[in-house]
Structures are given as C-alpha cells and as structure tokens.
Amino acid sequence: MDSLGQPGAPGYECGVRNTFACFAPDEAASLTLPTGETTTSDEEARFIGHVLVTRALLGAGLHVDQRVVGAMGAAYALSWTALGGRYGQTPLALATSLWLIAFDPLRISDRPIPIDWDADCFNDPDRWDLDYRLFSHYDISESAIDWAVYVAGAADRREGCSIYSIVEPLLRMEDSRVDLALSTYGHAQDAVSASAPAAAMLERGRIAALLQGHLSFSS
C-alpha cells in the first residue's frame, strides 16, 4: 500500500493519486506476463503493473478497503470509461484489466464506482465525456465484455496479446456473451508467436485445458 499514489505510478504526472507505483519514475518500465507477452512501452508496463497489484489485493478479499476500491476505479477511469471504445490502452493492458472485473463481487451491480475525476488526466474532451462521470460496476463489466467479444473475431484486434490472457479472467464470469467469446477463442489462432519460453507454453497449456473443460461442460 505504501506505493499507492507515489511517483512512477500511472497517471501520477497529470494528477492521479490512487494508482500503484511498481517502477521508479526514472526506470525504464517493462514486464513479462506468465503467458509470455512482454510489454512494449513504459506506459503500458506501468498501467499493467498497477492492475496486477490491484488484482492481487482484490483476489485477497480486500474489495472492502476503500484504497483498493479507489485503485480499481483509477484503472477503470484510465481505460474502460473512455469515449466510444477508444480506451487508450493496448489489448494486453485491457486483457489484464479483465481480472479486476472477474474479482469484483459487485460486477453486476448498478452501484456507482467511486472515481476521482479531479486529475488533469481526465480533462481531455477527445478521450472522455466531461459531462458524464457516473459509471457503475455493471457499466464497466458490459464495456469489457463487449471488447472481449469484439477482439475474439480477429487476431489483429488483439495484437500483442495471447488469447489465454483474455480467456482466463473470462472463465470467472457468467454471461451469455462471455460464453460466445469463449467458444470463439476455443477455435481461434493465437495472436502471439508460439516461440515463447517453455514456462509460458506450460501456462498457455494450463489455460487451454481450463477452456476446453469449460466448453465441454457447457455443451
């Protein structure tokens, strides 16, 4: 928690104070996910780092801690709340953010998400609707599921992101459109090169087995 709102956190330079700093401000941020993808920019790595910390805290049951709720809201504000599906994040970052929705016990609730819109980051009218600042847990979930279904349709829509990074959090959600997306991913060509490290291939194999088990049970 000590890294919350510290220099190096995503959005810090434009006023966001409820994201986690996983890298020092002067560090070239980079990370590799268990499924083998490596971040391609400093901004992407910092955002994904914040999401991974928030995911761990939500997974530990800390959704009742307002600092964690604020961190989740900041991740959503920097991605799923943007205008017209122009989320401003890479497919890999958005796929990682699906975990926050999967771990959100209020995912289908119309309760508003407490988002601090005061940061200068959120004053860009080309990216955000400055007159609409009210988003519920359900609103965010719907946007994310829409995206997951959309990118299932073509590999170039999820460039740089393995299908398995999208599939595993989806397996924790119950929705007819999620089932549609999972069915598509079950027959999809992975968008990431198969020449990944052995550990990543094992991770993809683990998730592939979960997906096939889900599809077999659903049928």
Residue 61 CB burial class (10 angstroms; 0-12, 13-18, ≥19): exposed
User: Is 90 exceeded by the pLDDT of residue 115?
Assistant: yes
Question: Residues near 23 by Cβ (< 8 Å), separated by ≥ 6?
Answer: 8, 29, 45, 46, 49
- Compute the distance between CA of residue 50 and CA of residue 52 in angstroms, rounded to an integer: 6
User: What pLDDT score does 187 carry?
Assistant: 87
Average pLDDT, rounded, for the chain = 94
- List, in sequence order, every residue forming a beta bridge with 4; answer none if it has no partner: 20
CA distances from 198 to 13, 169, 203, 208 (A): 38, 22, 9, 15
- Compute the distance between CA of residue 148 and CA of residue 76 in angstroms, rounded to an integer: 15
How large is the average pLDDT for residues 159-177?
94
- 3-state SS, one letter per residue, for 43-108: HHHHHHHHHHHHHHHHHCCHHHCHHHHHHHHHHHHCCCCCHHHCCCCCHHHHHHHHHHHHCCCCCC
**Sorting pLDDT into bands at 50, 70 and 90, what band is 173?**
very high
Total-model pTM: 0.95
Contact (CB, 8 A) for 126 and 88: no
**Sorting pLDDT into bands at 50, 70 and 90, what band is 197?**
confident
The closest alpha carbon to 70, from 155, 9, 160, belongs to 9
How large is the average pLDDT for residues 160-185?
94
User: Is 90 exceeded by the pLDDT of residue 160?
Assistant: yes
**Sorting pLDDT into bands at 50, 70 and 90, what band is 174?**
confident
User: Is 80 exceeded by the pLDDT of residue 149?
Assistant: yes
User: What pLDDT score does 133 carry?
Assistant: 94
